A and B are shown apart, each in its own frame.
Chain A
Amino acid sequence: MDNREQEFKKRLLATFIAEALEHLGTISKGLLELEKSPPRMERGKIAEVVYRDIHSLKGAARAVNVSEVETLCQALEAAFSGWKRGDDIIPAVAFETLYRAIESIRAIVASLEAGGVVTESGKISGIIRELSLYGANGAKSAQSAAPPERDAPLPTAEPAQLLSSATVRVNAQTLKKLLLHSEDMLTSKYAADEDSARINAIAELMEVLRTGISRTYIDMMPLFEKLSSGRQTALNPQQTTELEEFFNWAATGSREISSKIHALVKSSSLHKKNLDKMVLDLLDKTKQAMMLPLSSLLESFPLFARDISHAEGKSVELTLRGADIEMDRRILEEIKDPLIHIIRNSLDHGIETPQARAALGKPPRGSITITASQTAGANVEIAITDDGAGINAGKVKQAAIASGLIAQKDAETLDNREALQLIFASGISTNKIITDISGRGLGLAIAREKAEKLGGRISVESTPDKGTAFRLTLPITVATFRGILVKSSGRTFILPTATVERTAKFKPGDIRTVENREAVELDGRALSLARLDAVLGLPIKAKKKNEASEAPVTVLVLNSEERRIAFGVDEIIGEEDVLVKPLGRQLQKVKNITGAAIIGSGAPVPVLNAQEIIRSAAKAVPSPLATTTDEEEAYQGKILVVEDSVTSRILLKNILEGAGYHVKTVVDGIEALSALKTSEFDAVVSDIEMPRMNGFDLTRKIRADKKLSELPVVLVTALETKEDREQGIEAGANAYIVKSSFDQGNLLSVLQQLI
C-alpha cells in the first residue's frame, strides 16, 4: 500500500471515530430516557432516533471495515426494529445487554483511536446472542429469557471522548463566513504593504538629511571653534552662502519628510480602523467555530454515573439541565477532568447506599444534577448538586488545623461556609477531610487551579445529610481581558486588572517594618507590603544610592478570598487587552504564573496568577529593605564589558567592580549580543576592534533591536581619528572614550550620567 493510500485510510478512520462517538452519544442518551419508561408516544419517538443512529453507525463501520462494530450494530438494529414503533416496552433486563453492547462499541472505537487493534471480539458474540432474543423474531421469547450473566466487568469508557478526538465538525455556514472574513483581511495586507513602502521612502529621505546635517556639523566645527575662541569674529561671504544654502537644503528636506509623514499618518489611521474591525469580526467568527454545546462533554456522564454506582451497589440517577449552552471547546476540554472528579466524589462519598438512604427517609435512588446556566457577563455556572451525605464542616476544620493550613484561633473565626472552601486547598490531604476519597486527594485542588486558570471560580455548599453543591463559574469563551503591565526587577509582567483593587504610591518614610515584614497604611487600615521581585525570586535590583531614600514605591493592592496584600513594583507601564496563552506543553504548571500574553512588540510577557502570588507572599518573604547589606547598597548596576584583549578586559572589570557595578565580560560583539539576549544589563562598555563583530556593528545591532535600543553604549577605543569618532556617533554610541586619554574617573562619570 503506498503512503497516500495509507494516509487516506488514516484520515477516514479518524472521521469514523468522530462520527461514531457522536452516534454513541445519541444512542446512550436515548437508552437512558427509554429506561425511565416514558409514555408510549414519546417512547416511539426516542426509539426511532436510536434506531436511526444505530443504522447510520452500522453504515459508517462498514465503510471503514470495522466488522465488529458492524455486526454489533446489526444485532442492535434487529432488536430495535421491534421497539421503534413504541408498541412494545423494552424489558428491563434488555437494558443491561444494550448498555453492554454500547460499551463494547465504545471500547472498540477507543482502541481504534489509540491506534490499537480490536480486542473485544470475545465478548461480542455473547452480546449478539443475547440481543437476538429481542427484535422482530425474538420478542416473544424475551420475557422468558433468563437475566444475562455479567461475566466480565464492563470496559468503563472515560466519558466525553468526543472532545479528545482530533477532528471537529464545523457548521458549513460558519466556515464560509470565516473564509469571507479572511479574504477581507487581504485588503489590509495590501494597505500595510503600501504603508511599508511609504515608510521606507521616508526613512531614505531621513537618512540623506541626517548624514547631510552631521557632515556639515563636522565640517563647520573648526569654524565654530574659531568663532567661540574669538580667532574669527564674523563669517566671510563664502561661509555665509554655505550656511544659507545648508539651512535652505535642510528646511526643504524636513518639509518634504513632514508632508510625507502626514500622508502616512492619515492613511495608517484609516487602515487601522478598518483592520480593527476586520480582526474583531474574524476573531468573533472563529470563536463561534470553536463553540460546542456543553452536552458534547456531558452526554456520556449519565451512563458513566450509572456504571460506577452499579459497581458500588448504589442506585443513582444523573440528570443534565441546560446542556445546550454553548462553550468554547478549549474550556470544555479543560474542565472535563475536574467535572469527572467532582462527580466521582459525589458517587463515592456523597450518595449513600440504598439501605442508608432508606434509614434517613430519603428515596432509595440518589440523584446528581448537573445544571448549566448563563449568568451575568459572558459566564456559565455549572452546578453539580447531589442529595447525599454532605460534607462535615467541623471535620474539614480539624483536618486543616492538623495539616497546619490554618491556626486554631483562625479556624474559630471561620463560619461553616468558609470552612468548607478549605477542601480546595492543595496543602492538605483531602483524604483526612472526606473519609478515604478514592484516587487522588488533590483532585479538588486541581479543579480550583483549572477554574482559576480559565478566569473562573469554584465554590462548595453543603448541608449534612441533605447534600452537596459544587458551583463552577467559567467564561463562555477564552476571552481577552484587561491586564496591567508592570515592571519588577527590570522585567515586565501582567496582572489581570480584575484582580487589582487599586494602585497607590508610598514614600519610603510611610513604610513601617513590623516583625521583619513591611507594612503600609491605606484608608486607615494596615496592609502588608510585599516586593514583587522578592515574591517571584527575581534578582533584587537595589536602588542607586542617591535615589534610594527619596523614590516613592508604586504598589498594587491585590485581593483574594482570604487576604489583601500590597505588591511593590518598579513601575506601572500601562493597561492593555491581553489574551492569556498556555506556556507550551513542557511548562504545565509554573508557580505564580498563569500563562503568557503576546504584547505589541511580539514578545511574550508572563501573566501572574493573583491568588498564587498572594499565597506566595503570605509565606515568609524577607523584606529586601531589612536584608539590605552594605554590598547591595553600593550596587550601581550591571555592566557588560566587551573587549578582546585580556589585559583591557581585566582592567575594565576591576575599575567597574571597584565602583560597585556588577560586571560580565565577553570577548566580541557576537558574544555580547547573545549575553544581551539572555540577561539584563544597565550599560555596555565595548572595544571597537574585535574579531567576528566589531564595536560599531555591535552598537548598530543594539540600536536596531526593539528591546535594547535605549541601552547606553560606551565605546572605549584606541582609534582616535575624526572619522572613527564620527562613525561611532553615527552608529549610535552614547559616549566615545579614547584609550590613550583614558582615565578611570572619566569612564565612571560617563556611566553615572548614562545610567
Chain B
Amino acid sequence: MTEINKNTADAASEKLRSILKERALRVAALPQTNIPAAEKMMELTEFTLSGEKYAFESAHIREVRPLEHITPLPGVPAFILGIINVRSEILSVIDLRKFFDLPEKGLTNLNKVIILSSPEMEFGVLADDATGGRVVNADNLVKTLVTLTGIREEYLMGVTTDRTAVLDAGKLLSDKRIIVREGVET
C-alpha cells in the first residue's frame, strides 16, 4: 500500500467514525415516545382452526407438536376431545370450537396440538395447523371487531390488523370452568 492510499484510507475511516458517532448521538437523543415500550410488544404463535386465524401469546405455550393418537374419554364435557401421550406424560386436549360454541364450519385438518402451560394448569389445544410466530404491538390490537369472532369477549385480547383473533391463553389456563372434577361434589 502506498503512502497516499494509506492517508486516504485513514481519512475515510476517520470520516466514517465521525458519521457513526453522529448517528449514535442522534439515536440516543430520540425522544422516548417514538420507541414502542418493551412491555407493549407481544410475541404471538398463530394457528388456524376451521379456516379461521387465531393466536396465543407465545409465553403461555410449552410446545407445539403433531397430533398422533388421541384417546377419547367417556363421561367428560364435549370440549374435551381426549387424552394424548406426551413423552410418557398424559395430557388432556380440548377443542376450542366446542368450548366457545363456534360453528364447526369449513374444512378441518386437526394436525397439531398446542400445549398451553402455567404453573397450575396444562392442556393441549387442537389446531389445524400452527403457522408460526410474530411480534405485534399490543396497542394495535382492535377491540371493536371482538364480537365478529364469535368468541366470548372475556377470552379475547383483540384482533390484529390482518384479522387474527388473539386469544387470552392466561385466562383459559386460570379458568376454573375448564377443570373437570366429577364424581365427588364439592
Listed in ascending order, the chain A residues whose CB lies under 8 Å from chain B are 426, 440, 442, 445-446, 449, 491, 536-538, 581-593, 595-596, 598, 601-606, 612, 667-668, 670-671, 674, 677-679, 706-707
Contacts and interface: CB of A to CB of B under 8 A. Distances in A.
B92 A586 contact: yes
B76 interface: yes
Interface string B141-185: 000000000000000000000000000000000000011111111
9 contacts: A586-B92, A588-B180, A590-B180, A593-B73, A598-B90, A603-B85, A606-B73, A612-B183, A670-B109
Contact of A603 (B71, B73, B109, B186): B71
- Count chain B CB atoms within 10 A of each CB in A536, A604, A679 and give the residue with the most: A604
B132 interface: no
A590 B75 contact: yes
Contacts of A442: 184-186
B75 A593 contact: yes
B107 A677 contact: no
Contacts of A612: 183
Contacts, number: 123
A674 B71 contact: no
Nearest to A606: B73
Interface in B64-121: 67-76, 80-81, 83-85, 88-92, 94, 107-111, 120-121
A674 B108 contact: yes
A589 B90 contact: no
Contacts of B81: 678
A537 B184 CA distance: 18
B122 interface: yes
A449 B72 contact: no
A584 B107 contact: no
Given A583-B83, A588-B180, A595 B75 contact: no
B54 interface: no
Contacts of A449: 183-184
B174 to A, nearest CB: 12
B88 A596 contact: no
Contact of A589 (B91, B110, B184): B184
B47 interface: no
Contacts of B184: 426, 442, 445-446, 449, 589
A440 B184 CA distance: 12
B56 interface: no
B17 to A, nearest CB: 30
B71 A606 contact: yes
A426 B185 CA distance: 8
Contacts of A491: 71-72, 74
Contacts of B109: 670-671, 674
Contacts of B180: 586-590
Contacts of B108: 671, 674
A586 B72 contact: no
A595 B90 contact: yes
B74 A537 contact: yes
Given A426-B184, A671-B108, A674-B110, A592 B83 contact: no
B183 A596 contact: no
Given A426-B185, A536-B75, A602-B69, A584 B90 contact: yes
Given A670-B107, A677-B70, A585 B85 contact: no
Nearest to B95: A678
Contact of B183 (A589, A595, A605): A589
A596 B86 CA distance: 13
Contacts of B80: 586-587
A605 B88 CA distance: 12
B91 A592 contact: no
Contacts of B83: 583-584, 587, 596, 604, 606
B185 A583 contact: no
Among B72, B92, B184, B186: residue with most chain A CB under 10 A? B184
Given A598-B85, A604-B83, A678-B70, 14 more contacts: A440-B186, A442-B185, A491-B71, A536-B75, A583-B73, A583-B90, A586-B178, A596-B71, A603-B71, A604-B71, A604-B85, A667-B107, A671-B108, A674-B111
Nearest to B110: A674
Contacts of B181: 588-589
A479 B69 CA distance: 25
B171 to A, nearest CB: 15
Nearest to B69: A603
Contacts of B73: 583, 587, 590, 593, 606
B181 to A, nearest CB: 5
A537 B182 CA distance: 15
Contact of B110 (A440, A538, A677): A677
B180 to A, nearest CB: 5
Contact of B182 (A586, A590, A706): A590
Contacts of B89: 581, 584
